[in-house]
Amino acid sequence: MAAGGAFLLVFAVFSMLVMSSLGNPRPLCSDCETLCRTNCTAEVETSCSSTCNDNPLEGCRRQVFERCTTDGTCCSSNGTCTCDCNTVSQDRCRGITDNYTDCQACERGQFDYCYSTCKSGCNNNCKKKKGCHA
């Protein structure tokens, strides 16, 4: 039990050293790829979030659909419907793009830029070989 606890403690300290070495100005060269991929994935998610989370097409359809149903444009009070608000919203919002293309473009562009910057920075400032001590 005590031996297990000691082992866990050593492991925890070791993990912390490994973790803190990630923030080290001199990572292992073999880690550059992973570090930059992780870093840039997070960065892209932040910087493209408005483009990727705001969907103009969806917004348009929702608005038109809501107006259509609340105004009763399609159905009279006696229940006769001359149109379908779903179809109406799709027709009205034709030509409005969804966020897919812009989101992809943003993510690809930001990632490529971030990754190449990060990678060359990392390659210029990394340790070639893993030493016994950090």
Ligand X SMILES: *[C@@H]1O[C@H](CO)[C@@H](O)[C@H](O)[C@H]1NC(C)=O
The rounded Cα 114 to chain-centroid distance in angstroms is 14
The residues, any chain, with a CB within 8 Å of residue 102's CB and separated by 6 or more, are 51
Residue type, 25: P
Nearest approach in angstroms of CB 67 to ligand X is 19
- Interface ranges with ligand X (CB under 6 A): 39, 52-53, 55, 58, 76, 78, 80, 99-100, 103, 117-118
In the bound state with ligand X, the residue whose beta carbon lies nearer, of 92 and 107, is 107
Nearest approach in angstroms of CB 2 to ligand X is 37
State the angle between helix axes of 32-47 and 100-123 in degrees (0 to 180), rounded to the nearest 10: 140
Nearest approach in angstroms of CB 102 to ligand X is 9
